[in-house]
Structures are given as structure tokens and as C-alpha cells.
Structure 1
Amino acid sequence: MEIFRELKSIESVRAFYLGQPASFLYISSPDCAVCASLFPQIEPILANHPEFQAGRVDLGDVPQIVGEFSVFTAPTLLLFVNGKEVHREARIVPIEPFKRKMEQIGDFVRTAEQQ
């Protein structure tokens, strides 16, 4: 089963993060070695957090994402809750702190869904 949905237009990106209670965007760039090596480490983390819908965007396919989200480097990882950006990581992402942040935000989302 695919965890990440490929988003190919700025409209699909907007609909994706605005249409979910909690979402995650992985923004990568073509021929980016860091993007390619980080993604396999991020994928299992998202697999453990079904409260987040996960999307993947390539800057080559959706160059408008740079201006829409102030993306200055790749990869950029964005977490949204109710359409609001709540966390951002870019370029070199330490995995353990990222896992902890996912747990914290995931706990918040699950608690909010139960109320």
C-alpha cells in the first residue's frame, strides 16, 4: 500500500493539505541526493502515523510550491493540522527528533479527534 500520494499540481497540493485534519508534505527536488536518501527514512515514520495523510511533491512538477510555502531548499518537510503549518524541517533532518515531533503532534491530533 502506498503511504504517500503523489501531487502533481499546486491545486492538488492545496486541496490535499486543506482537506485533511492532519497532513504531511514531503517536498523534493529532481536529482537531489539528500531527498533520495532521506525519503526511505521518513516513509516508515509516516506509516506509523495513520492520523496524517502523506503527500509527496517534486519541485520539478510543481515549481509554484516554492512561492506558496517559502521553500528555499530541498527536501522540505511540512506538517499541517487543520490547514495550518505546525512544523517544518528542511535539508538535513535529524531522524530521532523528527520522530519525537511526529509523536507529539500525532498525540495532539488523536486527542482532538476523540473530543
Structure 2
Amino acid sequence: MREFNELQSMEAIEHFITANKLAFLYISQPNCSVCHGLLPQVQTLMEQFPQIQLGHIDAHEVEAVAGRFSIFTVPVLLLFVEGKEFIREARIVHMDLLEEKLKKVYHHMAE
């Protein structure tokens, strides 16, 4: 399973997005059972996409993240390509659909 970088400030989050061509954010909260159940599945899925950089944000710790990314629930999964949001999944994530979306973006970027 791939590990996520813990991002603990808005400055770190913005830098992570701009510094990486493919940046994936997993936004969760400590008291969210869906978040805790989904994270290992996402970590396993991301093994297929080694060039995507992984960042985790605790929305309880970095409260400004909700306003910055218009988040109303957790978990939220965001993929940024060259600083632009390409994929957004929230709350109930269908892993097979997420995998399809990631493959399309990933293989297009690899060309």
C-alpha cells in the first residue's frame, strides 16, 4: 500500500498541488468511519499509479480546506493535473469508477 504525505497547512497543500504534475488529495476527519474504511482501498488502488503524488488532509486540523475546495462532507478525493482539478469524488466512492477515471487521466498524461 502506498503511503500519503500528511499536509497540515494551507501553504503545504497549495505547494503540494503546484509542485506536482499529478497531485491527489484525500480529505478526511478523525471521527469519520467511511474515511477510515476507504483509505486502505485508495492506498491499494494508487499502487497502479506511481507517478501520482499522494497527500492526506485532516479537515478537522486544517479547517480552511473546506472553504478552499468547497467541501461539505468527507471523505473527499481530489486529483489535480498541473494545478487544475480533474477528478472529485465525495462521501460514497465507487472504487471501480474511480479507477476508470484515474486510468483515463493517467494514461493521457503519460503519452
TM-score by length of 2: 0.96
Provide the rounded CA distance (Å) in 1 between the counterparts of 2:60 and 2:66. 11
- Structure 1: gaps of 5 or more residues: none
Aligned to 2:69: 69
Which whole-Å deviations, capped at 9, do the CAs of 1:76-98 have from their partners, x for residues lacking one? 00000000000100000001111
- Structure 2: gaps of 5 or more residues: none
| 8 Å contact kept, 1:3–1:46 | no
Provide the rounded CA distance (Å) in 2 between the counterparts of 1:23 and 1:74. 18
Query: Between Structure 1 and Structure 2, how many residues are aligned?
Result: 111
| Segments of 4+ moved more than 4 angstroms | none
CA RMSD of superposed structures (Å): 1.1
Provide the rounded CA distance (Å) in 2 between the counterparts of 1:53 and 1:13. 12
* Cα offset, 1:47, TM superposition: 1.8
Provide the rounded CA distance (Å) in 2 between the counterparts of 1:6 and 1:72. 21
Aligned to 2:32: 32
TM-score by length of 1: 0.92
Percent of pairs with identical residues:
41
The correspondence of residues 57-96 of structure 1 with structure 2, limited to 5 A, is 57-96=57-96
